[in-house]
Amino acid sequence: MEIRKPDVKGLIEAYRLDGRMMRYSQFVPRLYNYCKSLGFEQGRILPSRAFCSDESQGYPIILITKHFGTFPFNHGQVGGIVATDRHGPHAEHGQDMVIIQASHVGYDPATDTFGNYRRMQTEGHDQTATCGKVCGVTDWYQSEYHFAQQNIFLLRDGGEWLLRIDNQLLRESRRDGLFLNLDTLVESEAPYRVYSTSRAFRATAQLRERIPETQWREGKGERIGEYLQADDFYFKREIAGDLEGRSHLEGNLLEAMPYILTSAAPLLTAAQVNTQAEFDRTFRTIVRERGYRGKRLLFISGLNIDISPAADQIFPLTKFVPWAAYVQNDDGTSMTLEQDELMTCLLAQSSDNPDQIALDNAIHAMEEANEVVLKL
């Protein structure tokens, strides 16, 4: 039997955003009520969040605190990576356990674009890339992709339809870089013509069909540009195998990078891919964690969309897009909920939470409490 590579494109497309977004002010109470429906006990639930460290993630944390009645444990690293070595400590701190993992992406309502977020604490309320970690990871790949777009030409030579490719893109001995899937682009690896820094090959009928005839030019040709699609290339990159370390996020995105770069909103697609990868990976560590045995547990992954605040707003109007959840009962039975199943479960719950705490009152009560003198 032939072993095929995972369908990366299919996985990305499986994560639907349309009709599945929920304001955090609706999501968190529904999540709490769903936990109660599973038998979780009020006052015994310890939530944990695996979010990026950005200040834009503070509003979701405040709402988790308000509805679950306790500040959430911290399971997260930059970029929304889950620190799985914290499972044990988390398990010790409560009876019923909840883990919320989310990658995040900014959204600018003024331009209806993903990837930027207005930083209200900067002098000019600057728009910067978010998630900045994801943006930093994709920069190198974006540069490689741009080079390929600018150095592959669509060429006509009489009756021949040619692809003229820079020699650098043809060097298979490279350790890192963008590599072409030549079988989708050229009829034969034998060049039609050799130039000093490039080679021309006869284009496949498949390529000719999807690129308008007007793009093929005599002479030097026309740059391929946006017609270089995700299925036409892949990347090689030596990444340090530091699980949950500096390069972990890059490892999550590497195989999907062609689809990320060619999507309409690269940072949004990257955040989706990272969420999917982290759910799959973290789920497998949870089922092996001894500390969680005999406990009720809900692990949910999704996407935080940080809508840039207006001038009169303190916090973003963050929305959550669920991806999947894992539910474990105290008797050891468990189930996994796919996106539509999870949405159905959440929407079946009330957005009214009678157990929520009034944060201002709680803080005031602590301010008025009798002083505790520490004895040294």
| Domains of the chain, first to last | 19-115+265-349 (3.40.50), 140-236 (no CATH)
pLDDT band for position 128 (50/70/90)?
confident
pLDDT of residue 117: 85
Maximum C-alpha span of the chain = 93
pLDDT band of residue 6 (cuts 50, 70, 90) is low
What are 48-80's pLDDT values in tens digits? 999 999 989 999 999 999 999 999 999 999 999
Lowest mean pLDDT among 123-137, 208-222, 265-279: 123-137
Adjacent-strand bridge partners of 108: 113
Q: What is the pLDDT of residue 3?
A: 42
